Amino acid sequence: MRDSIGYVLLAALLVVALAFGRGSAQQQLPAPADSLTEGTGRAADTSQDLQRVLIDSISTKVIAQLVKAINPVVTPNNTRLSFMPTARTLKPGMGYVESMMLFLWSVGYGINDRHAVLGGMSLLPVSLDDQLFYLGSKSSIYKSESAQLAAGLISLNQKELDKPLSALYGVVTLGNTDAALSLLVAYGFEGSEMADQPLLILGGERRLGRRTYFVGEMPFYDQVPIFPLLGIKRYSEDGGAHWGYTVPYFVYYSFGFGGD
């Protein structure tokens, strides 16, 4: 009898010991699902850390170069502002056709590195004999990366004029393709009669974006400002064509041709 009771007590102790040991093991060993979750979290943290290290290791200059390569800055055909010419000349074999409000058309062409020619006419709703015609030229005198100097002649004629009206001009441009100032001095004459005072035009341009510029012109005569002309120009991707709007109410479009 005592042996039976002893066997029963021993069996009970073994059951309790096994149950306690199993509970302790379950507390010590993490669940498989939790292990997978923690492993995935650690991998994500490691990936984010690697991304931060890579981004931090790239300098701002490298990032700027990558952005510039993807979206290159346009080099414009900036031989003129809205009305006034700059001292920059057209490249050999390059030219443009420009329309101002659809009523005034002009064509320019670069003969060589230094000389360019210009011609144009009005297309008003009148007969051909009543239209305005003009011819001009521009020659580069000095050229560097930050300064250009040019001179030229422009002459216009219309049947109501006794003689063609002409002007000799010189223009200097200081700056680069991002920002520049230009000053034009022109002396008008009719036949052999020269104007008493020169016409001065102060012009400027400032890049606003890859293809967009702010342009402005202020003409002076007899040291008196006439009227400011302010506007914007937006170039095509190749810089050859552009459209512009100048206050007050001048809209123009230029199409480039020739070149490489």
Domain ranges of the chain: 2-57, 94-258
What integer is the mean pLDDT of 206-231? 93
Q: Does position 211 have pLDDT exceeding 80, yes or no? A: yes
Least confident of 12-21, 199-208, 210-219: 12-21
Pairing of strands 250-258, 229-235: unpaired
Residue scoring higher pLDDT (165 or 61): 165
Token couple for 214:
């702010």
Which of the four pLDDT bands, split at 50, 70 and 90, describes residue 8?
very low
Mean pLDDT value of segment 79-105? 92
Highest mean pLDDT among 25-39, 148-162, 226-240: 148-162
Interval 57-81 mean pLDDT: 69
The pLDDT-based confidence of 98 (bands split at 50, 70, 90) is very high
pTM of the full structure: 0.71
Given pLDDT bands bounded at 50, 70 and 90, which one contains residue 213?
A: very high
Tell me: cis bond preceding 32? Omega within 30 of 0 counts.
Answer: no
Do 86 and 79 touch, CB atoms closer than 8 A?
yes
Q: What is the mean pLDDT of residues 54-65?
A: 65
Q: Report the pLDDT value the prediction gives residue 248, as an integer from 0 to 100.
A: 75
pLDDT at 67: 58
What is the DSSP secondary-structure string of the chain? -HHHHHHHHHHHHHHHHHHHHHHHHHHHSPPHHHHHHHHHHHHHHHHHHHHHHHHHHS-HHHHHHHHHHHSPPP----SBSSSSB-S--PPTTEEEEEEETTTEEEEEEE-SSSEEEEEEEE--SS-GGGS-EEEEEEEEEEE-SSEEEEEEEEEEE-TT-SS-EEEEEEEEEEE-SSEEEEEEEEEEEETTEEPSS-EEEEEEEEE-SSSEEEEEEEEEETTEE---EEEEEEE-TTSS-EEEEEETTEEEEEEEEE--
pLDDT at site 36: 45
Q: Which overall architecture, per CATH, does domain 94-258 show?
A: Beta Barrel (2.40)
Q: Is the pLDDT of residue 235 over 80?
A: yes
Please state, for a pLDDT cut of 90, what percent of the chain lies above it.
52
Sign of CA dihedral 229, 232, 237, 242: negative
Give the per-residue pLDDT at 249: 77
Residues 6+ apart with CB under 8 A from 126: none
Question: What mean pLDDT comes out for the span 243-260?
Answer: 86
pLDDT of 28 strictly over 70: no
Average pLDDT over residues 173-187: 96
Answer whether residue 19 shows pLDDT above 70. Answer: no
Q: Is the pLDDT assigned to residue 72 strictly greater than 60?
A: yes
